[in-house]
Chains A and B, each alone.
Chain A
């Protein structure tokens, strides 16, 4: 019965609900019915508890197909399991479409205990379909061999030397600036530094701190010895991964699975499939617009919050068109890898970065324009730092806009809102472009532009980075930021990073304080696109 593709039996993972469907599966086993060999069954308490992260992780770990089998709506023992399963399946199917794996590799089925033959039929059909599609092509994340103690000590020593940790004067300026410490979290950058010097990186407090660091760079900004703390944390996380210590990935590691999958060459994403008709692109242009992960975010977060980060990409394209640039788009655009690198997975980051650089170099792309601060930093700075050789120039959309606006004959329609601005840590502190968004903001014609208490170089973070270590303190930090925004008397909070938008929107969901916290959020790119006008 086992069908073979390239002499390799495909992996089909079956998440099977303990209640109705499992009884049917047992009947099949008891009667020795021909369950396809490809099927590997995992018995779960409720199919509704198999969240989207787990579904995607199955693919990231090498599954070629995933079947989620639960109970008919109305027969769920817990009430909402079937509805959850359907919603989760639908979301992940949409993500699989964009990733290029295709929605057919994931399916949901619901069976009563007596429907064993129907279940068999379903499994055989699905197996045939997956065999017809062939392997998904994602290479499972390689197991990392644990470190020898001596190696670890040597690595730590190298880290200390490279980042000149001994230069730390233990003055505490970092802690007194750190947004996490200020919100009350037991967190101290200098304590991490001391722990690394003394080799005590495995104490639970230090581990937790390393994973929850925002890497926002405020401490680096204040450090009198200029210890590059964000980069140091990045390296420490790599070290933790290699000592097989678990990270603290949030959202079940959904985004990490997504990015890890992208580092496999066999994957060919299908991006930009539903652009508005009026957007002009040019498949031959040497100018490429690099979108980033926004479409994935919109699907993933639509379950909880109303986000429209994909709109930022559409508005960017509109602005490029406005200035007569019809950019090239990569239908197989992958992730830039920022979050892989910053959550300690350098191996897969490098795999992904190499694919990206080879692809863009190979196409003869001269300029890459992007609006996402993380994509910008990663493509512009990190790739070269990590030893890759991109032959293209990376330009932030704001730089492009400022250059065009400087030429003049364009103005902005006034709008009757007071605005304030949330800096992106990547664009502002880490890439040193604090003034750039402000130049653009000053061209706009709002009722007023008021800076928050902590703004520009001293701006505090949106509360999370690289999808790791989000906790109650992160929420408190976001709430503090929203309160600062309200204190300016603004009714529109302008952001420049899709993640700032996601995180601050999430904080507004606080059920007790929703009304005090709610404020309209909009990306700077979208505001510009909405109000820009040709002047005759």
Chain B
């Protein structure tokens, strides 16, 4: 309905025809195809902003798409709930804020509670399963014990990178290669190798999760024929 109305009203507005045409064109496509809107949320200090930054940079520098990042400033980045809003698009982005995310990455309960209301049925929710209880989620939820895995790797600061790997495998929002090379350039010097390893862990976990879902859907639960 909205689209029909827009189409109808566009000629009435006095703007440049090509622009108007482009605008209509974008609006008439399903959001997922041309534009992916992502919110990463968690505690300040978890590397939420860095994760958002890596997503955006991987999309623009690696995958040659457009991307924007809006990051939460202020007291949040010192320990409160914090978030980064990323938009990745095949064409120019005109408005950088995300109101209904296609992907929500939640690494804290407070962050989750704040953004769960903006999710739709078609959104994808990614959570750290030890930190977030996904109540009232209207959409598909994928869980990973990212912080625990990072601790096992020897540094819980890498939970965000593990989460990025997981997100890349599940959603394909950015390409594997772009993400890896952006991580290598973005993390503190000397930690690139370990961060790439962390990314790979999260990525493998994501692939494994997808495989598990496929198996479960096909009725294969365990190793024995039941």
A interface with B by C-beta (< 8 Å) = 276, 278, 315, 318-319, 321-322, 324, 406-410, 413, 528-536
- Check if B157 is an interface residue, CB within 8 A of chain A: no
Given contacts A407-B205, A407-B207, A408-B204, contact A536 B223 (CB under 8 A): no
- Check if B225 is an interface residue, CB within 8 A of chain A: yes
In the complex, A532 Cα to B216 Cα: how many Å? 13
Convert B207-226 into 0s and 1s, putting 1 for each residue whose CB lies closer than 8 angstroms to a CB of A.
Answer: 11101110110001111110
Given contacts A408-B144, A536-B213, A536-B216, contact A530 B224 (CB under 8 A): yes
**A534 and B224 contact, CB distance less than 8 A:** no
**A534 and B207 contact, CB distance less than 8 A:** no
In the complex, A533 Cα to B221 Cα: how many Å? 6
**A276 and B225 contact, CB distance less than 8 A:** yes
**A532 and B223 contact, CB distance less than 8 A:** yes
**A409 and B223 contact, CB distance less than 8 A:** no
Choose among B207, B216, B223 the residue that contacts A321 (Cβ–Cβ < 8 A): B223
Residues of chain B with a CB closer than 8 A to A531's CB: 222
Nearest first, the 10 A-B pairs at minimum CB distance are A409-B208, A534-B212, A408-B205, A409-B209, A322-B223, A407-B204, A318-B223, A529-B223, A407-B208, A409-B212
Given contacts A408-B204, A408-B205, A409-B209, contact A533 B222 (CB under 8 A): yes
Query: A69 to nearest B CB, angstroms?
Result: 45
Given contacts A534-B215, A536-B212, A536-B216, contact A409 B222 (CB under 8 A): no
In the complex, A533 Cα to B204 Cα: how many Å? 17
Interface centre among B145, B208, B213, B216 (most CB of A within 10 A): B208
Query: A305 to nearest B CB, angstroms?
Result: 24
Main secondary structure of the interface of A (DSSP, over half): mixed
Main secondary structure of the interface of B (DSSP, over half): helix
Residues of chain B with a CB closer than 8 A to A410's CB: 208, 212
In the complex, A528 Cα to B222 Cα: how many Å? 10
Residues of chain A with a CB closer than 8 A to B212's CB: 409-410, 534-536
Query: A319 to nearest B CB, angstroms?
Result: 5
In the complex, 9 of the A-B residue pairs with CB atoms within 8 angstroms, ordered by the A residue number, are A276-B225, A278-B225, A318-B224, A407-B205, A408-B204, A409-B212, A530-B223, A534-B212, A536-B212
Query: B211 to nearest A CB, angstroms?
Result: 7
Q: Which B residue's beta carbon lies closest to that of A533?
A: B222
In the complex, A322 Cα to B176 Cα: how many Å? 26
Interface centre among A315, A408, A535 (most CB of B within 10 A): A408
Residues of chain A with a CB closer than 8 A to B205's CB: 407-409
Residues of chain B with a CB closer than 8 A to A532's CB: 222-223
Residues of chain A with a CB closer than 8 A to B149's CB: 408
In the complex, A244 Cα to B76 Cα: how many Å? 84
**Which B residues between 160 and 191 are near A, CB-CB below 8 angstroms?**
none
Choose among A318, A319, A535 the residue that contacts B209 (Cβ–Cβ < 8 A): A535
Residues of chain B with a CB closer than 8 A to A536's CB: 209, 212-213, 216
Query: B124 to nearest A CB, angstroms?
Result: 14
Q: Which B residue's beta carbon lies closest to that of A315?
A: B223
**A319 and B216 contact, CB distance less than 8 A:** no
**A408 and B223 contact, CB distance less than 8 A:** no
**A534 and B204 contact, CB distance less than 8 A:** no
Residues of chain A with a CB closer than 8 A to B201's CB: 406-407
In the complex, A319 Cα to B211 Cα: how many Å? 15
In the complex, A47 Cα to B204 Cα: how many Å? 62
